[in-house]
Amino acid sequence: MLLGGLNMGEYAYDFTGENAHDGPSRNPRDLARMTGGSSGGSGAAVAAGMVPVALGSDTNGSIRVPASLCGVFGLKPTYGRLSRAGTFPFVSSFDHLGPLAAGVTDLALAHDAMQGTDPEDPMQAQRPVEPVLPSLEDGIGGLRIAIAGGHFAQGGHRAAHDAVALAAKALGASRVVEFPEATRARAAAYVITAAEGAALHAERLCARAADFDPEVRDRLIGGLAIPAAWVARAQRFRRWYRRGCWSCSPRWT
């Protein structure tokens, strides 16, 4: 397995696969295009056939984005399902560790191998190993598959929407689901991410600011400037979303 791949956004606070110290990760599908971040090196290594499986970290999409842009499979598991021990944190309350692979079989094999309780990660759920590889033979029968609407249908290039439509047709998905307050949830996640990530690096920023990737440094400094009232409000929204809003079924149409 490859952790971080050829290159990774500094401290996992990256969206494009670029790194001021080592240069950008190149997308093997088209070298003129980005890999996405922050686990862009992992996505590129799998897409190029350099390794069958790689690991990535995901806080706000850092496995899913490179997997999508590089044309491979990526899995952000349920929070706490897989151990994060041995990795450097970014936002502990959001961080996930998961595999990227060229196919779902390798993805399932990696996921199953990574299961099991680990006392080194205090946030890991105390659950027994539940292999997922055998379930691949079941196919998609019985699954409810829908198209994300509302917030997720706004913006984006036409090619991206066309790709979603093509995948939905192949999967026989015609229903649209709208998640309530998705726009506010995204904003709250970014506030919490910026504040927690900045707090983690505050001492290093004071002592060695010039050593940071300039773009990452600016994001972290911005996080330190976020008013505490904003963070508290974002956390209240997060608790409300989990207890109240999310307990209601998404609207299917």
Give the model's confidence band at 3: pLDDT under 50 very low, under 70 low, under 90 confident, else very high.
very low
Predicted confidence at residue 249, as pLDDT, reads 59
User: What is the pLDDT averaged over residues 125-152?
Assistant: 92
Q: What is the DSSP letter of 239?
A: H
Predicted confidence at residue 220, as pLDDT, reads 97
- Give residue 209's Cα distance to chain centre: 27
The pTM is what? 0.89
User: What is the pLDDT averaged over residues 81-87?
Assistant: 94
pLDDT at position 1 over 50:
no
User: What is the pLDDT averaged over residues 187-205?
Assistant: 96
Give the model's confidence band at 248: pLDDT under 50 very low, under 70 low, under 90 confident, else very high.
low
Predicted confidence at residue 18, as pLDDT, reads 87
Q: Which of 57-66, 136-145, 202-211 shows the lowest per-residue confidence on average (mean pLDDT)?
A: 136-145
Predicted confidence at residue 83, as pLDDT, reads 96
Radius of gyration of the chain, Cα coordinates, nearest whole angstrom: 19
User: What is the pLDDT averaged over residues 119-123?
Assistant: 93
Query: For every residue of 188-233, which 3-state class applies, written as one string?
Result: HHHHHHHHHHHHHHHHHHHHHHHHCCHHHHHHHHHHHCCCHHHHHH
Q: Using CA of residue 242, residue 92, residue 232, residue 180, what is the dihedral sign? A: negative
* Cα–Cα distance for residue pair 73/99, rounded to 1 Å: 8
Percentage of the chain lying above the pLDDT 70 cut = 94
Q: What 3-state DSSP class applies to 98? A: strand
Are 35 and 17 contacting, i.e. CB atoms less than 8 angstroms apart?
A: yes
User: What is the pLDDT averaged over residues 51-80?
Assistant: 95
Give the model's confidence band at 139: pLDDT under 50 very low, under 70 low, under 90 confident, else very high.
confident
pLDDT at position 4 over 50:
no
CB atoms near residue 222 (< 10 Å): 12
DSSP string, 11-67: GG--SSS--TTT-PPBPTT-TTSB--SSSHHHHHHHHTTS-SEEEEEESSSTTHHHH
User: What is the pLDDT averaged over residues 223-247?
Assistant: 89
Q: In what order do the strands lie in the sheet with 147-148?
A: 147-148, 176-178, 251-252
- Give residue 62's Cα distance to chain centre: 4
pLDDT at position 106 over 50:
yes
pLDDT at position 75 over 90:
yes
Q: Over the stretch 209-224, which tens digit does the pLDDT of each residue have? A: 999 999 999 999 999 9
